[in-house]
Amino acid sequence: MQEYEGIADYAISYGLKQGFDYVEAYLESGGSFSYSRKQGNPNSSYKSKYSGIRLRLIKKGSLYTYSTNIISKERIKEAFKFSGFKGEKVGLSEEKAEKYSYKVKERIKVEDSYESAVKDVEELDKSLNGLAYRSISISLGKYENLFVNSEGSRVYGEIPYISSFILIIVKDANDSRQKLIQLGNTGGYEVFKWEEIRENVEEEINSLKKVLKEGISLSKSQINGIKNVVASSEIIGIAVHESIGHPLEADRVFGREAAQAGTSYLMPSNLGLKIGSKEVNIFDDPTIKNSYGFFLYDEEGVKARKKQLVKKGIQNELLLNREYAKALGTKSNASSRSDFYSNEPIIRMSNTYLEKGKADFEELISEAKNGIYIKSFTEWNIDDTRSFARYQGNEAYIIKNGDIEKPVKNYKLEKSTFDFWSSVYLLGNDFNLYAGTCGKGEPQQGVPVMHGGPSALLKFGGK
Amino acid sequence: MEPSDILKILKDEGFDEAVVSTSSTRSIYIKIANSKVDSIVEKKNERGRLFVSKEKKVAFSNIERPDKQSIKLAIGNLKQAINIAEPKPDYYGIAEGPFKYRSNFIFDKKISEISIEEASEIANQAISEFDVENIAGTLHLSSYTYSIATTKRVEASTMGTEARLSLRIFKNGFSMQDYIASRQLKEINLSKIKNSISMLEYANGTGKVKSGKYDIIYMRSPAGLLFSNVNDMACIDSVEMGSFLSNKLGDKIANRDLSIYDDGSIESGIDSSPFDEEGYPTQRTPIIKNGILKSYLHNYSTAKKYNTKSTGNAGLVNPSPNTMVLYHRKKKSLEKLISSIDKGIIVTNTWYTRFSNYLKGDFSTVPRDLAIYVEKGSPKFVIKNLGSSFGIGIRISDNILRMLEKTTSVVNDTTQSTSWDSDSYYYTPSVLVEEVNISTV
């Protein structure tokens, strides 16, 4: 990275001389090792290294992003031939020029852990005998980035990470159940607690087998008749991500993603909308240590902070970059990210969650009295405006007279966003975050995120 | 440096086999939002990739950029990766060349040389053609050169271009999205999108539908998006997972008039190439022919494992599909297809297709834009089960094997299409699928 710093600085000075209103340069360099196994056998290993530069320029209000892996003065000069276009005129919010450098600490460096990762994955794989199918992949890497702009910001970050996908499938003569588990953290190799991972995977397998063997199927009218739902933190997490985080991205609200990742029930005309019950407080926080969505500065050099998206059921902050902060006459809250140096940074979530409450899990179940406990999901989807979602239960149980009873094979939690969040009645005192890869933009960019919260009792049809 | 030069260096490192590929790409993305050109992204990259095997161990590395230092680093990374790797018992090598390749793939110099100013003018021209409330979309123009050399006497290169215009039109409270895609810029004319948008004329009122079974006409883009899952699940590694196509070779799994192919050899196909990732020539492979499951998709190694021939679908470790092509013997005009429906829905776009069960083929997907209720052969109203501005509020739940059987006729409107939700292209007409489960908000 150091060898290219001069090129980034050159880009700023050259761009200003060429009469550009704003110039920023983002250098990124990284490397990773990936390894995968299928059905008990090794599949492939991949070691990679990359670096590149991205310039974002504004001329006469026109926004242009240029990226290349040929980091030379000659190559980047090409970008400054840009002369503007007929179209949107962009302005950026005024922000403090930041000078900061940070590195995420690693007790065990990821680059010293490739052989350990292979061994740990192999051990996990071998412990999963007896499934219809299993595959495991792991990726360990580190990237560093340097952001400089024509306003004097200079921010350097170095972030190691580990991620893994585990697919397990169980079946009997008539049916099958599947689960894709995604894991992800930032930090050294020590952040992956393999004993816990093995226990969790075993628990998932046992649950799939239990539902496969003992699960009952409910009729449509039985499903429609269920009023009280205890949703686990996994269900709450995906709902927070899909029906709160995404629709509160300012670029959606203002129509910039209309042909790509979609629109939103929230519009410039209904900001401050009541979305849920007063129990609902939802945050996005990239500063959570070792989280998969971690960063301390975003890709516009703005200092990251915890944002409250929903406050007592009312939409509070939007996720903002400098462009939309300017449009709203406020400051950016550092939500500008890309998945790779070559793509434009756009407004993204980081770690998004529902604030936990005080109730024990048993209290949620007994308060529900009769209903359903939905512990995990498999398929899920949501409409363009983020108003109508479905979470297909992978593991769900009947609640009868305040006790958890038989597993259910086919429960679907299919509700409007407002019905879902308005029905939040009681929050658990547990809390979990789940790793995910969030897609948006064109070309689609997948950025690491987390989503979660506590278990919660939802009472549909009133208290 | 050419792949053959890098291959010479790799040969001295003691690997059993090696594949070297290099590419040079230029891409322009012009984002359209709120009826304006919003912003422009231009990318220029020159990269490479290495694959080697040794005593049944396989490993990959990438070449950061085409200079000696990066190549040296890449080889060092490769050695580390293969030293850590363990033997892959079911690995049987790469394809033995040399091969003869087709050379008629279209390369449009206009795309490769287009300036940012010219590209933004095309986008602005597209915006000005529509008298509507709002247009959003993307104009994507890209060009590439790709070269490959292997230790099994393959040395080849190809070039390609891509022009894609996606537009989402908002009018009278409804939205409609369509795509034009080609290897040639001159084919990016707006008549096809205008034709699709004309469906907005059916939007002469709104109404709600109830949960239940409906005959569905999927227009090209959602049809391609859904049926391309067949090609994904025909890849042999998915079959080994137990996909809904497993253990069904030779079985009747679809309507007898339906055929689905994997084809990497279409000269106008954006995803087409003369050869796959190990240099094996691409071809047209029937996956389903007249309702019968005919073939899975293989690279050389997986084909050898199953005592069959490569279908030109490398992926060096796992096969990957080329372009999905759907044929149906019963073709009608859209009007005639609509008139044959007693109770149905025209679905113009879907997204978030998710499988709850890969083995059985159960999935759900969500209509994203204009969905029109059809009754007794006539479009009746635009479905609006949600109160919010562009929300529709219905969801499709189906099983892909059932869907294959119940695809009873198609429209004669096949063209190359894609979707925001997909990273590939497909040639498919609009299709009629009978008795599909719909749930509502």
CA dihedral B79, B83, B85, B86 (to 10 degrees): 140
What is the nearest CA distance from B36 to chain A, expressed in angstroms? 5
> The complex's ipTM?
0.96
**pLDDT of B413 strictly over 80:** yes
What is the nearest CA distance from A103 to chain B, expressed in angstroms? 23
Cα distance between residue A370 and residue A387, in whole Å: 27
Residues of chain B in contact with residue A381, where contact means CB-CB under 8 angstroms, are 351-354, 364-366, 395
pLDDT single digits (tens) A404-448: 999 999 999 999 999 999 999 999 999 999 999 999 999 999 999
Q: Within 10 A of A151 (CB to CB), how many other CB atoms are there? A: 16
Cα distance between residue A258 and residue A375, in whole Å: 33
Tell me what pLDDT residue B195 has: 83
Q: A interface mutation test: which of B28, B80, B347, B390 has the most A CBs within 10 A?
A: B390
Return mean pLDDT, chain B.
95
Tell me what pLDDT residue B348 has: 95
Q: Which amino acid is at A60?
A: K
Take residue A134 and report the two structure tokens written for it: 């299993």
Q: Within 10 A of A463 (CB to CB), how many other CB atoms are there? A: 6
Chain A residues 221-260 with a CB less than 8 Å from chain B: 254-260
Tell me what pLDDT residue B388 has: 63
Take residue A282 and report the two structure tokens written for it: 């939802």
pLDDT single digits (tens) A143-165: 999 999 999 999 999 999 999 99
Cα distance between residue B430 and residue B216, in whole Å: 10
Angle ∠(A454,A460,A463) on CA atoms, nearest 5:
90
Residue that is written with structure tokens 């050109």 in the block:
B37
pLDDT single digits (tens) B9-24: 998 899 999 999 999 9
What is the nearest CA distance from A177 to chain B, expressed in angstroms? 7
| Residue of B369, B384, B5, B17 lying closest to B222 (CA atoms) | B369
Confidence of residue A97 (pLDDT cuts 50, 70, 90): very high
Q: Within 10 A of A246 (CB to CB), how many other CB atoms are there? A: 22
CB of A87 within 8 Å of any CB in chain B?
yes
Nearest residue, CB atoms, B59 vs list A46, A135, A255? A46
Chain A residues 280-339 with a CB less than 8 Å from chain B: none
CB of A43 within 8 Å of any CB in chain B?
yes
B41 contacts A344? CB cut-off 8 A: yes
**pLDDT of A389 strictly over 60:** yes
Residues of chain B in contact with residue A379, where contact means CB-CB under 8 angstroms, are 354-356, 362-364
Q: A interface mutation test: which of B121, B357, B369 has the most A CBs within 10 A?
A: B357
Residue that is written with structure tokens 């899975």 in the block:
B296
| Residue of B438, B440, B437, B432 lying closest to B216 (CA atoms) | B432
Nearest residue, CB atoms, A381 vs list B167, B242, B354? B354
B359 contacts A176? CB cut-off 8 A: yes
Q: Within 10 A of B306 (CB to CB), how many other CB atoms are there? A: 14
- Nearest chain B residue to A262 by CA: give it: B368
CB B85 within 8 A of CB B57: yes
Nearest residue, CB atoms, A47 vs list B78, B354, B362? B78
What is the nearest CA distance from B329 to chain A, expressed in angstroms? 33
Q: Are strands A388-400 and A412-416 parallel, antiparallel or unpaired?
A: antiparallel
A384 contacts B395? CB cut-off 8 A: no
Nearest residue, CB atoms, A176 vs list B73, B360, B393? B360
Give the residue-averaged pLDDT of B280-304: 98
- Nearest chain A residue to B78 by CA: give it: A47
**pLDDT of A463 strictly over 70:** no
| Residue of A232, A231, A236, A459 lying closest to A367 (CA atoms) | A459
Residues of chain B in contact with residue A262, where contact means CB-CB under 8 angstroms, are 351, 368
What is the nearest CA distance from A333 to chain B, expressed in angstroms? 21
How many inter-chain contacts (A to B, CB under 8 Å) are there? 268
What is the nearest CA distance from A87 to chain B, expressed in angstroms? 5
pLDDT single digits (tens) B5-59: 999 999 889 999 999 999 999 999 999 999 999 999 999 999 999 999 999 999 9
**pLDDT of B204 strictly over 80:** no
B317 contacts A43? CB cut-off 8 A: yes
- Nearest chain A residue to B50 by CA: give it: A46
Tell me what pLDDT residue B386 has: 84
Confidence of residue B122 (pLDDT cuts 50, 70, 90): very high
Nearest residue, CB atoms, A49 vs list B62, B318, B369? B62
CB B396 within 8 A of CB B438: yes
pLDDT single digits (tens) A192-233: 999 999 999 999 999 999 999 999 999 999 999 999 999 999
B167 contacts A259? CB cut-off 8 A: yes
Confidence of residue B202 (pLDDT cuts 50, 70, 90): confident
B439 contacts A259? CB cut-off 8 A: no
Tell me what pLDDT residue A242 has: 98
A87 contacts B37? CB cut-off 8 A: yes
Half-sphere exposure of residue B253, counting CA atoms within 13 Å on the CB side? 24
With b for 16 or more beta-carbon neighbours within 10 A and e for fewer, the A336-373 pattern comes to: bbbbbbbbbbbbbbbbbbbbbbebebebbbebbeebbb
Residues of chain A in contact with residue B175, where contact means CB-CB under 8 angstroms, are 384
Return mean pLDDT, chain A.
97
pLDDT single digits (tens) A288-302: 999 999 999 999 999
CB of A65 within 8 Å of any CB in chain B?
yes
Half-sphere exposure of residue A405, counting CA atoms within 13 Å on the CB side? 12
SS3 of chain B: the string is CCHHHHHHHHHCCCCCEEEEEEEEEEEEEEEEECCEEEEEEEEEEEEEEEEEEECCEEEEEEECCCCHHHHHHHHHHHHHHHHHCCCCCCCCCCCCCCCCCCCCCCCCHHHHHCCHHHHHHHHHHHHHCCCCCEEEEEEEEEEEEEEEEECCCEEEEEEEEEEEEEEEEEECCEEEEEEEEECCHHHCCCHHHHHHHHHHHHCCCEECCCCEEEEEEECHHHHHHHHHHHHHHHEHHHHHHCCCCCCCCCCECCCCCEEEEEECCCCCCCCCCCECCCCCECCEEEEEECCEECCCECCHHHHHHCCCCCCCCECCCCECCCEEEEEECCEECHHHHHHCCCEEEEECCEEEEEEEECCCCEEEEEECCCEEEEECCEEEEEECCCCCCCCCCEEEEEEHHHHHHCEEEEECCCEEECCCCCCCCEEECCEEEEEEEEEEC
pLDDT single digits (tens) A26-57: 999 999 999 999 999 999 999 999 999 999 99
Give the residue-averaged pLDDT of B146-171: 96
A342 contacts B42? CB cut-off 8 A: no
Tell me what pLDDT residue B146 has: 97
**pLDDT of A174 strictly over 60:** yes
Close Cβ partners of A374 (under 8 Å, ≥ 6 residues apart): A229, A230, A231, A232, A235, A391, A393, A395, A396, A411, A413
A342 contacts B391? CB cut-off 8 A: no
Tell me what pLDDT residue B392 has: 87
pLDDT single digits (tens) A253-293: 999 999 999 999 999 999 999 999 999 999 999 999 999 99
pTM score, whole prediction: 0.97
CB of A410 within 8 Å of any CB in chain B?
no
Give the residue-averaged pLDDT of B2-7: 94
**pLDDT of B338 strictly over 80:** yes
Residues of chain A in contact with residue B29, where contact means CB-CB under 8 angstroms, are 442-443
**pLDDT of B257 strictly over 70:** yes
What is the nearest CA distance from B440 to chain A, expressed in angstroms? 9
Tell me what pLDDT residue A72 has: 97
B395 contacts A388? CB cut-off 8 A: yes
Q: How far is CA B386 from CA A8, A238, A386, A416, B217, in A?
A: 49, 21, 11, 9, 21
Nearest residue, CB atoms, B62 vs list A48, A378, A387? A48
- Nearest chain B residue to A59 by CA: give it: B39
Q: Which amino acid is at A309?
A: L
| Residue of A412, A402, A323 lying closest to A374 (CA atoms) | A412
Chain A residues 429-458 with a CB less than 8 Å from chain B: 442-444
Confidence of residue B389 (pLDDT cuts 50, 70, 90): low
Give the residue-averaged pLDDT of B141-157: 97
| Residue of B67, A58, A3, A78 lying closest to A67 (CA atoms) | A78
SS3 of chain A: the string is CHHHHHHHHHHHHHHHHCCCCEEEEEEEEEEEEEEEEECCEEEEEEEEEEEEEEEEEEECCEEEEEEECCCCHHHHHHHHHCCCCCCCCCCCCCCCCCEEEEECCCCCCHHHCHHHHHHHHHHHHHCCCCCCEEEEEEEEEEEEEEEEECCCCEEEEEEEEEEEEEEEEEECCCCEEEEEEEEEEECCHHHCCHHHHHHHHHHHHHHHHHHHHHCECCCHHHHHHCCEEEECHHHHHHHHHHHHHHHHEHHHHCCCCCCCCCCCCCCHHHCCCECCCCCCCEEECCCCCCCCCCCCECCCCCECCCEEEEECCEECCCECCHHHHHHCCCCCCCCEECCCCCCCCEECCCEEEECCCCECHHHHHHHHCCEEEEEEEEEEEECCCCCEEEEEEEEEEEEECCEEEEEECCCEEEEEHHHHHHCEEEEECCCEEEEEEEEECCCCEEEEEEEEECCEEEECCCC
A83 contacts B81? CB cut-off 8 A: no
B137 contacts A414? CB cut-off 8 A: no
Residue that is written with structure tokens 């009278």 in the block:
B172
pLDDT single digits (tens) A340-383: 999 999 999 999 999 999 999 999 999 999 999 999 999 999 99
Residues of chain B in contact with residue A29, where contact means CB-CB under 8 angstroms, are none
